[in-house]
Structure 1
Amino acid sequence: MPHSARDLLDGIQAELAPHDNDNRMVPLIALGRAPRGVFAAIAAEEQRITSSDWRSFHAMAARADEPHVRAFLDGLPPGEQQALAMLDALVTAAGPDQGMELPRAGCQAYPGYVAWLALNAEPSCAAAGIYTNVAAFGRYCGAVADGMRTHYEFDDPACAFFDFFAADTPVIEQRAFAAIQAGLDTERLNPNDAHLYARLFQNYELMFWNTLADEFPG
């Protein structure tokens, strides 16, 4: 059993690493090979996801009675709210001629899973899964923002959502490590569950992007 948050997270990352490059959409955007219409789809899907995750993180935090775990989870909803506001510029830049975007099950499975965690998971275990995925999502967002500027001529406001999640967040990292360590120290965090939640996060994250890759092939 790992004794530190770092040991646990290193073990999780080692398990997930073989699938780090299974995302088929982000490389298309990074190379400028994805059709421009994908950005309207991303914006519409992310509007639904951030709204749902905002509620789920509040519910998750309300169930957390350990101070460090609650501090980490309480810090997540404000970021979701801020990110949601940033999507308006992308919606406008992607073009109103894209029409009404209907939700895709493959994209909305992700927030459904987060909602499940909010109701069922030990909060410190959920924190481990969330933090692992935040790091992966940040890497994807950095590549998307670069591709948007280089190949699609999007301006800074249109890229702001992706810039936000790609930015280094030392406070979030510190809170995450404290939350995970508290879970280990109190023996509330089951490492097997933490690995499972992180693996499912990766699966649902990849499902989001690869659903779009199937619809918008390069």
Structure 2
Amino acid sequence: MQQDLAPQDDDNRLVPLVRDGRAPRAVLAALAAEEHRIVASDWRSFLTLAGRATDEPTREFFAGLAQGEGVALKALPVLASALGMDREAVRAYRPQAGCQAYPAYVAWLALNAEPADAVVGVVANFAAWGQYCASIAKALRSQYGLDDDACAFFDMFASPPPEAQEQALAAVQAGIDAGRVTDAAREYGRLFQSYELMFWNTLADQAG
């Protein structure tokens, strides 16, 4: 499913701008501010899905994702600061609907989706998100002069631990074995990718 739903290289309009050093630092700062809200929301959504799951692999998968979001949230202030935004500026930032549609959808899934279907939808987005983060992390160093501490947020998602992939596969298999994976799973995966691209391209529109 990852391959079937993967976006094309030119669908994400922000990553090439960052890769070439053409994205203004203000846009990157906005990205960090948006992520403060996204990560906090996704953390709660994944905990909700873990609580609703009826099998151990699915519970462990979403609990692991929530734990990762908690770690990521701690890395964001360093990134924002490196891009010129202190904590007060992050709090004062006005988020954009096109960026916040993604966590709003994850929150909807947390309340409405069969957790087994939600696993498939989340996993379908793993590869694209990881590739974007890897490209951004590399460009922040080479084009914008950020250090390892500032890039830790993107590094984390660019190279997820092997156990995360193992948990994902175990959760998907558990859902299939129990007959809880439905046709909705592919729809969730498609919408995940659409909202992912909406996030990046909303920011790309700011780059001019």
What TM-score comes out, normalization by structure 2 length?
A: 0.94
> Is contact 2:49-2:110 (8 Å) kept?
yes
1:124 maps to what in 2? 116
Find the aligned partners of 1:155 and 1:215 in 2 and give their Cα distance.
Answer: 25
Deviates more, 1:103-112 or 1:61-70: 61-70
**1:69-80 mapped onto 2 (5 Å cutoff):** 69-80=58-69
1:23 equivalent to 2:23? Answer no
CA 1:82–1:109 in structure 2 vs 1: closer, same or farther (change >3 Å)?
A: same
Find the aligned partners of 1:93 and 1:34 in 2 and give their Cα distance.
Answer: 15
1:36 equivalent to 2:25? Answer yes
Which residue identity is paired with 2:146?
F
Moved over 4 A (4+): none
> Is contact 2:34-2:95 (8 Å) kept?
yes
2:104 maps to what in 1? 112
Find the aligned partners of 1:159 and 1:32 in 2 and give their Cα distance.
Answer: 15
Tell me how far 1:36 sits from its aligned partner: 1.2
> Is contact 2:2-2:125 (8 Å) kept?
no
CA 1:171–1:21 in structure 2 vs 1: closer, same or farther (change >3 Å)?
A: farther
Q: Secondary structure of the equivalent of 1:92? A: helix
Q: Secondary structure of the equivalent of 1:75? A: helix
1:212 maps to what in 2? 203
Find the aligned partners of 1:23 and 1:143 in 2 and give their Cα distance.
Answer: 12
> Is contact 2:46-2:65 (8 Å) kept?
yes
Find the aligned partners of 1:82 and 1:167 in 2 and give their Cα distance.
Answer: 14
CA 1:122–1:159 in structure 2 vs 1: closer, same or farther (change >3 Å)?
A: same
1:199 maps to what in 2? 190
> 1:28-66: per-residue Cα shift (whole Å, max 9, x none)?
101111111112101100000000001000111100011
CA 1:52–1:26 in structure 2 vs 1: closer, same or farther (change >3 Å)?
A: same
1:82 maps to what in 2? 71
Which residue identity is paired with 2:84?
G
1:61 equivalent to 2:50? Answer yes
> 1:93-140: per-residue Cα shift (whole Å, max 9, x none)?
111389542100000000000000000111111011112212211110
Please provide the CA RMSD for this pair.
1.5
Find the aligned partners of 1:180 and 1:143 in 2 and give their Cα distance.
Answer: 28
Which residue identity is paired with 1:174?
E
Which residue identity is paired with 1:13?
Q
Identity %, equivalent residues: 55
Unaligned runs of 5+ in 1: 1-11
2:40 maps to what in 1? 51
Q: How many residues align?
A: 205
Unaligned runs of 5+ in 2: none
Deviates more, 1:160-169 or 1:40-49: 160-169
What TM-score comes out, normalization by structure 1 length?
A: 0.90
2:130 maps to what in 1? 138
